[in-house]
Structure formats: C-alpha cells, structure tokens
C-alpha cells in the first residue's frame, strides 16, 4: 500500500450530510462548542463516505436533550450515563457525547468525568488518526499529529503505546485492523512492540469483542500482511487457539468471500477446528455450520484426482456449492485438477444460475409404498442416496421413479 492523498473537499462533503446542519444549529449555544470527531473525520479526509457520524460537545447530556426539543430533533438517551445522546433529524442519526477526561484508568473500567477540553478528550482515544475533529465552520483540529499520520499511512498510538494497551487490551487487535485498513508500510515499531509485549492480555478479553475485531480485520485491504505479522509474532495463535495457513487465506482474499469464509480458509483444517473456533470466538451456530461444511469439503476435494462435471455434481450435492467453491479457492494449485467444464458448472451453481442437485426422495415416499416408519426408512434412504450420487445425481422423473422402485423393493 502507498501513502494517502487526502481529499481537499472531504470535510465539506461531510458537513453537507443531510440533517447534520440541523443538529449543529440546535447545539449552537453561546459559550459551548460542538465538533465532529473520530472516524467520520478521518474517512472524510480520505474521500470515503461515513455511515456513522459522532459529535463531541461541551454541553452536558441534559442540555443536549433540551436543545434538541425546540429544534424538532428526536433525542434518545442511548448512553446518557456515559454522556451519549443520539439525535435524529428525520431518519438520520447522530451520536452526541459530552467531552470526557480520565481520572483513573484500569482496562475497560476507566473512571471519567465530563470535561470541556477537546485536547484532553482527544488524548483518551486510541490512535492519532482517530483523534481528529472538525467544527461547524469546517476548521480541522489536530492535537496529536493525526493528519500527518493519516497522510503517511501510519497507525500510531496516542502517547505511550503500552499505556494505551493497558487501558484496553482490545487495542492490540484494533492496531492490526486499522493498520490493515489505513497502513502504508510496516506497522509502527513502538506500537508493534507494545502489542507483542502485552500479548498475554488478549486472554482476558471477552470472546465476543475479539470476534468482532478479528472478523473486521480479515476483510481489510491489507489483511494478508497484517495477519502474517500476527502469525509471526505468536499473536494469531492466542486469538484462534491454533495455527493459520497464510497461503490459503491469501488465495481467498482474491475473491469476494466474507469474513467467516476467510476465517475458515485461515484456521480450519478439520471439523474439530470449527468447534474450537466457535468456542474461542463465540461464533453463531450458522457460522459454525459453515466452517464445518468447509472442513468436510476440504477432505472431499483432496481425495479426488480429477474432478469432471459428473464429479462436481456429486460434490455439490454432498457438501453444497459454496463450501466446495471456498475450499477450491483456498487450495488453489494444491488442488487436484478440475476440468474447465466442472469449474464453470461450480460457478453457475454458486451464483444460483444452475440448481445444486437435491436428493429426490424423502421418508414419506417410502411410507407411501408400504415401508413401515422407523429405522428401516433411514437405512433405505441412505442406500438410495449412495446410488443416486454414484449415478451423478440425475434429476429427471424417470430416474427418480427407478430410484424409488429400488428403495421400496
């Protein structure tokens, strides 16, 4: 990745966000100040749209609510005990948070108080590129060197990196995620050293928080070099409880796979890995099932020498088109030869342009032919399915009738 060229019109575009002018006007109180802060400012400078617009203000939460009412804005006390009020201008939402200052910091349990100093509020943030702010007149405020870091493609902790990580160990993962998204060269040396030194703190994080950051990281443009550093420094093993195959992961990043699919390519080698990752990252049941299907597809593909159209139909029927396609992308050149026609068929099935073969019999078909309900039904269906797969998953009615006749006899 290269350094970033900033968008000279980015802040103006941000300030023209529908509904924002109404919010800023409502909060314009003599002696008080409100600014747009954080990610929306960073992304605007890069010319990227932002769906989440956060504002920081010297107004206390109760005053924010009071200002909103006469301006026709709806206020929602989403985190009022922490100083956050959500304001709605039509369907547009804006989070407004009163400035804060740290009194004591102990991981996620920091003791804070409301403040009036934007500079002190910026010092509470994680990285310099996330501490930029802009006022209603479009003036950019930068007290941590974030603008230069953003231009250079440098992700740097505010103040001492080790201190920022002691405040919240999740910042280790955020360091890698933001570097994968915005970094231009190698990771910041001080930040990387602090992350490695604090690696044991990852064990104390909630699995849900780790899951969220890791899955976002796997989708970032610079995910491959970032995950490579995670692996080389031993951090990846602490996160996933096992090893990662960087070559398989890199191959899947060439295609528009989602985060769970990329996680599978990186860390799943067997069905046991799917269970381990589910426990460590609090994956959903659906995500666990996807990882398990991928593991079985890996085994199936590696056991074949040549995969033609007939074999591809069997594989898709047995494992699903998506798991076969993902495993195929992950294995790449390591995979046995897939004929051009079989590859084309797989693509059509993944896109839904050709149906994946579906076994045409169900238990009630056999019951209707006089087979008593019970285990015998399952045994006969199992044998019939094996025959159906061996025949290349025929879908015509004549083949179904013959299959049913054999299963019922």
Q: Name the segment(s) of the chain with CATH classification 1.10.110.30.
A: 157-240
Q: What are phi and psi of 243, to 5 degrees?
A: -95, 170
Task: Compute CA 111 distance to the chain's CA centroid, rounded to the nearest angstrom.
Answer: 30
- CATH 3.30.460.10 intervals, the chain: 1-154
The count of other CB atoms within 10 Å of the CB of residue 13 is 13
Q: What is the pLDDT of residue 218?
A: 98
Which runs of E-coded beta strand occur in 289-334?
A: 306-307
pTM assigned to the model: 0.90
| Model pLDDT, residue 113 | 84
SS3 135: strand
CATH topology of domain 1-154: Beta Polymerase; domain 2 (3.30.460)
Q: Which of 95, 84, 87, 93 is nearest to 36 (CA)?
A: 95
Strands 84-89 and 92-98: antiparallel
With b meaning 16 or more CB within 10 Å and e meaning fewer, what string describes 123-144?
bbbbbbbbbbbbebeeeebbbb
Nearest Cα to 106, choosing from 154, 169, 57?
Answer: 169
Its CATH class, for the domain covering 157-240, is mainly alpha
Q: How far apart are CA 145 and CA 92, in angstroms?
A: 31
CB 364 within 8 A of CB 372: no
**Which residue ranges of the chain lie beneath pLDDT 70?**
1-2, 102-112, 333-334, 336
Q: CB 296: neighbour CB atoms within 10 A? A: 18
């Amino acid at each position: 990745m290269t350094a970033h060229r900033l968008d000279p019109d980015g802040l103006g575009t941000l300030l023209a966000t529908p509904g924002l002018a109404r919010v800023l006007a409502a909060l314009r109180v003599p002696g008080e100040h409100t600014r747009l802060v954080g990610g929306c400012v960073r992304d605007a400078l890069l010319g990227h749209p932002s769906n989440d617009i956060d504002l920081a203000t010297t107004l206390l939460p109760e005053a924010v609510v009071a200002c909103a009412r006469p301006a026709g804005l709806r206020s929602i006390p989403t985190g009022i005990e922490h100083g956050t009020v959500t304001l709605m201008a039509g369907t547009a939402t804006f989070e407004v948070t009163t400035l804060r200052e740290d009194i004591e910091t102990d991981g996620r349990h920091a003791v804070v108080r409301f403040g009036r100093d934007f500079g002190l509020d910026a010092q509470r943030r994680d990285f310099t590129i996330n501490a930029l702010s802009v006022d209603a007149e479009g003036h950019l405020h930068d007290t941590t060197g974030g603008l230069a870091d953003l231009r250079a493609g440098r992700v740097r902790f505010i103040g001492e990196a080790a201190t920022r990580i002691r405040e919240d160990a999740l910042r280790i993962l955020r360091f890698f995620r933001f570097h994968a998204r915005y970094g231009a060269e190698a990771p910041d040396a001080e930040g990387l050293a602090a992350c490695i030194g604090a690696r044991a703190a990852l064990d104390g994080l909630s699995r849900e928080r780790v899951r969220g950051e890791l899955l976002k990281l796997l989708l970032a443009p610079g995910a491959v070099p970032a995950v490579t550093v995670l692996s080389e420094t031993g951090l990846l093993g602490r996160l996933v409880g096992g090893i990662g195959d960087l070559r398989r992961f890199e191959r899947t990043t060439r295609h528009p796979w989602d985060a769970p699919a990329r996680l599978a390519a990186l860390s799943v080698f067997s069905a046991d890995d799917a269970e381990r990752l589910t426990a460590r990252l609090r994956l959903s049941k659906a995500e666990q099932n996807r990882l398990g299907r991928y593991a079985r597809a890996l085994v199936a593909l590696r056991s074949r020498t040549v995969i033609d159209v007939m074999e591809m139909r069997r594989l898709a029927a047995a494992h699903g088109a998506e798991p076969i396609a993902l495993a195929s992308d992950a294995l790449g050149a390591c995979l046995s030869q897939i004929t051009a026609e079989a590859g084309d068929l797989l693509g059509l099935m993944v896109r839904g342009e050709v149906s994946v073969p579906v076994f045409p019999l169900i238990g009630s078909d056999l019951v209707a032919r006089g087979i008593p309900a019970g285990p015998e039904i399952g045994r006969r269906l199992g044998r019939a399915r094996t025959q159906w797969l061996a025949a290349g998953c025929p879908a015509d009615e004549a083949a179904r009738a013959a299959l049913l006749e054999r299963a019922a006899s």
